[in-house]
Amino acid sequence: MQFSFRMPVAVQILLCIAKFDGVFKMTSTFLASSVNVNPVIIRKTLGQLKAAGLVEVAAGVGGAKLLRPPQDITLREVFQAVEEDVDLFHIQENPNPQCPVGRNIQQVLGARLSVVKDNMLADFARVTLADLLADIDSAEQKHC
């Protein structure tokens, strides 16, 4: 199963902003160089993060800044900010009502998949940007 790349891109953007605040100007071009995507994708993602109240963006020379400390921003918030369709799984909408599997699949599988989604979001709520920044620092220590 493959999920959207929006959340990992958004997390990387936020981590760069947190890590390099005051060192570099957080422009879409700078952030795009870290994520290795087109600056247009960065600008769209920043717009979503801004709408969610996670960043402020000053167009032109201002750059982006976090609106809250990294320890107060969870992966759940990031996920909900950038994923357009938070229904992770899509069950066939028109299964055969004459089949015992078809007529019950939405109810039976839907309930189970709802639990999976709730568990994932609960896990995301326990991880903050500060946790990931600490993990990056640890990973960097191993490279030195």
Going residue by residue through the chain, which has 144 residues, state the pLDDT in tens, using 9 for 90 and above: 446 789 999 999 999 999 998 899 999 999 999 999 999 999 999 999 999 999 999 876 778 999 999 999 999 999 999 987 666 777 888 889 999 999 999 899 988 988 988 999 999 999 999 999 999 999 999 877
| pLDDT single digits (tens) 57-74 | 987 677 899 999 999 999
Q: Which CATH class is domain 6-143?
A: mainly alpha
Look-up of token digits 């940007």: 129
pTM recorded for the entire structure: 0.87
What's the chain look like in SS3?
Answer: CCCCCHHHHHHHHHHHHHHHECCECCCHHHHHHHHCCCHHHHHHHHHHHHHCCCEEEECCCCEEEECCCHHHCEHHHHHHHHCCCCCCCCCCCCCCCCCHHHHHHHHHHHHHHHHHHHHHHHHHHCCEHHHHHHHHHHHHHHHC
Tell me how far apart the alpha carbons of residues 35 and 39 are, in angstroms, rounded to a whole number. Answer: 9
User: What are the residue boundaries of the structural domains of the chain, listed by start?
Assistant: 6-143
